[in-house]
Amino acid sequence: NAGVTQTPKFQVLKTGQSMTLQCAQDMNHNSMYWYRQDPGMGLRLIYYSASEGTTDKGEVPNGYNVSRLNKREFSLRLESAAPSQTSVYFCASSGHSGRAADTQYFGPGTRLTVL
């Protein structure tokens, strides 16, 4: 039982390049989330998926897109990377959807630098 896994662990991009961050969970959770973490700003929600087939914007969705590929996988795409997207990205999952979300479990993170 690996929990939440993320790939890649590290990535360096040039401005304007695109990439997809992958996330998978093996806990049979309904809900999945993407956060970014910046110094002094805590964790900020980018997008979330309350259940398979649904996605919703979080606090900072601009410049990102997501795909809930199936119940296990939730990917985050940067279409045209900008230096402001340099951050650490965390994926998380929780066991319930809608209002009854329980504890969120986090992956190890992807450290992204955009030059």
Residues that bind other proteins (CB under 8 A): 4, 31, 40-43, 45, 48, 50, 58, 90, 94, 96-101, 103-109
- Shortest reach from residue 1's CB to other proteins, in Å: 15
At 88, which amino acid appears? V
Question: Is residue 91 a contact partner of residue 106, using CB atoms and an 8 Å limit?
Answer: yes
Coil, strand or helix at 98: helix
- Shortest reach from residue 14's CB to other proteins, in Å: 24
- Shortest reach from residue 45's CB to other proteins, in Å: 6
